[in-house]
Amino acid sequence: MEGFVGNGALKRVIPKLIEEGWDDVPTLKLMKAEDMDSINMTQQQKDALEMRSYLHDCALIQYGDKLESAGKSLQELLELSIDEISSQFGMKKGHVARFIERRTSNSSAPNLLQQPPQALTSSRKTTKTSSNNSIHNASKMNPMLYREAMRGEEKMGGGEEKPELVPHISWSSRLFSWITWSSGLDTKLSKKKIGGKENEDNHDDVLNHDDVLNLTQYINDQQPLELPLTSNKNTVLHVAAQFAREGHLDIVKALIECAKRLDREEVESGGGAAKEMLRAPNKDNDTALHMAVRNPLNIDVVTWLTKEDPEFTHPPNNAKETPLYLAAERQHYDMVSAILENCTSPGYGGPNGQTALHAAATNGRNTESIELLLEWKPDLIKEVDEYGWIPLHYAACYGGKDKVKKILKKNKSVTYITTEEEGAEKTALHIAVTYESVSVMKELLSECPDCWEMVNSKGQNILHIAVDMEQEEVTKFILEKSWIIHLINQKDIDGNTPLHLLATAFGREMQDPWRKIWYHSSSDRHATNNNNVTPMAIFWSPIAKTLAYSEYAFRTSKWRHFATIADPSQQYPIL
């Protein structure tokens, strides 16, 4: 969460966001305009949320603060040229390429219940989809008949009437209308009949016991089964599985039991209707299990679906998400447990080469999913994604100390693994410093007390990074450690010590805790970098501060003059 909002405008509203339940990154990215208005977010904060949602992978989110400081909206940033992006924000070429590529890659999957009814034709037309011919594709349906099946669509959200199971419309279309209706949030039952039976209950907005009995009987009376229902290829099972309303589990069971009955009746031709229904993908390659795991209240449906087809691996959908990844990403640890317990070899991949453990380490605060996944497949702890990050790196960035602790309990050696992104290698401790997570730093150092010795790809230690990122709390923490004497004068690949960076960033306006580093008993303020420039020279001279790393500036007589005034003890050769 802290890594996502950075040090920009959103940081000021973190307490309010957490108070209102927007307490993890996936949830935060679901905010709508009215949600933002309800907590009085400014336009600047709204723009920041939009921009950071777009950048939400750790290879690009590092530029969040710089991009936000430009004061531009996301649309304005996307209109910049490659050269402008690179020069203005110091974005590396590979990252610029990814930034530009993502201009067109962030389209979201359509939500079935938010889409208008699709135009369908009235004539029935079936297509064989299996050897036993027991499951057929549903035909397209005339819009007038569709509206008749929905019965009162124009009054949705108000006094919508319970639809009848009209005999001249395909049974799957009628069932779809019932399931969708029963899941409406503002529907009130009126005096209508189902399957010829009067229903006097008019005070509930879910399927009552008699409704479920009649619907399940209605399902069992149907033959053949019809799979695809809409132009999105959602079957009745897809629709029933995604809701957690009372009675929907019974409908899901009835659908599969009906298919099993057909399997038994046609055993000579091979059967397979039940598995075909369970494994049927929609337009987005989502199975019924993909749909079910997205609903946090759907544990019973998820458990039942996984028990019915335990051998199926559930391959990724079009977004590269497996059901196990989706459950871990949403912190539905009870669903993670059900999938791992019931499925013999479930898929566990996600977008960008990530695993379910990456998702569990990144999102939310619960650690149960991490524990379950590591117990199931310990090797996940070292798997890298497309950006070269292991789950611990994401836990250090987003997850917090509890998740870091859970991972280190399984294998503390991963503390020393660096990211594999060329030119940006760093450890989990370096990431924790970058995102100013002192609690994560304490956890890492508690388990691996020597990990502070490691440097990143620039040769920088954690004090270099803390000064460069101006992380005050991290700097205060490091000042308390005895090993600061080994960091304070250590040089990076450019020969700069943390004191060089300190003088460049603050100069004579330096305040605590930076002054404590500057005047530390071990600090060498006369150490030279690769350009023979000292921290003292940078500290005293405006020119030195501006051109501290320029060899050309050092070679000019004007530079030598100012440098000598700034630090008379230095002997600069006449070149």
Helix, strand, coil share (%) of the chain residues, nearest 5: 55, 5, 45
On average, the pLDDT of the chain sits at: 75
Query: What's the token pair of residue 98?
Result: 């990814």
Instruction: List, for residues 436-474, the tens digit of each pLDDT value.
Output: 999 999 999 999 999 999 999 999 999 999 999 999 999
From CA 449, how far away is CA 529, in angstroms rounded? 29
Is the pLDDT higher at 261 or at 414? Answer: 414
Query: What is the predicted pLDDT for the residue at 248?
Result: 66
- How far from chain centre, in Å, is Cα 302? 21
Q: Which amino acid is at 158?
A: G
Within 8 A by CB and 6+ apart from 424, the residues are 92, 456, 457
**Which pLDDT band, with edges at 50, 70 and 90, does 155 fall under?**
very low
Average pLDDT of 411-420?
A: 96
Encode burial over 468-490: b for 16+ CB neighbours within 10 A, e otherwise.
Answer: bbebeebbebbbeeeebeebbbb
Average pLDDT of 254-258?
A: 78
Statement: residue 190 has pLDDT above 90: no
Backbone region of residue 275 per phi and psi (left: phi > 0; alpha: psi in -120 to 50; beta: other values): alpha
To which residue do tokens 């990431």 refer? Answer: 431
Angle at 301 between CA 297 and CA 306, to 5 degrees: 130
**Which pLDDT band, with edges at 50, 70 and 90, does 200 fall under?**
very low
From CA 518, how far away is CA 511, in angstroms rounded? 10
pTM confidence score: 0.63
From CA 574, how far away is CA 136, in angstroms rounded? 90
Which CATH number applies to 478-566? 1.25.40
Is the pLDDT higher at 462 or at 126? Answer: 462
From CA 97, how far away is CA 82, in angstroms rounded? 8
Query: What is the predicted pLDDT for the residue at 331?
Result: 93
| Phi, psi dihedral angles at 135 (to 5 degrees) | -120, 130
**Which pLDDT band, with edges at 50, 70 and 90, does 406 fall under?**
very high
Percent residues over pLDDT 90 in the chain: 40
Q: CA-based Rg of the chain, rounded to a whole angstrom?
A: 30
Angle between helices 438-447 and 401-410 (to 10 degrees): 20
Instruction: List, for residues 350-376, the tens digit of each pLDDT value.
Output: 999 999 999 999 988 889 999 999 999
Query: Could you tell me the end-to-end alpha-carbon distance of the chain, in angstroms, rounded to an integer?
Result: 53
Cβ(225)–Cβ(277) below 8 Å = yes
Query: What is the predicted pLDDT for the residue at 138?
Result: 40
Alpha helical stretches, state H, 377-437: 391-394, 401-410, 428-434
**Which pLDDT band, with edges at 50, 70 and 90, does 566 fall under?**
very low
Query: What is the predicted pLDDT for the residue at 546?
Result: 53
Lowest mean pLDDT among 27-41, 89-103, 215-229: 215-229
Angle at 65 between CA 59 and CA 67, to 5 degrees: 85
Domain ranges of the chain: 2-101, 120-283, 478-566
Average pLDDT of 117-142?
A: 35
Lowest mean pLDDT among 2-6, 81-85, 429-433: 2-6
From CA 548, how far away is CA 537, in angstroms rounded? 8
Within 8 A by CB and 6+ apart from 142, the residues are 120, 121, 122
Cβ(174)–Cβ(166) below 8 Å = yes
Instruction: List, for residues 82-123, the tens digit of each pLDDT value.
Output: 878 888 888 877 777 767 765 544 433 333 222 322 322 223
**Which pLDDT band, with edges at 50, 70 and 90, does 40 fall under?**
confident
Write the secondary structure of 451-514 as one string of H (helix), E (strand) and C (coil). Answer: HHHCCCCCCCCHHHHHHHCCCHHHHHHHHCCCCHHHHCCCCCCCCCCHHHHHHHHHHHHCCCCH
Is the pLDDT higher at 210 or at 151? Answer: 210
Instruction: List, for residues 534-552, the tens digit of each pLDDT value.
Output: 999 988 876 555 544 444 3
Statement: residue 283 has pLDDT above 60: yes
Determine the length of the chain.
575
Query: What is the predicted pLDDT for the residue at 388?
Result: 94
Q: Which of 52-56, 80-84, 227-231, 407-411 has the largest mean confidence?
A: 407-411
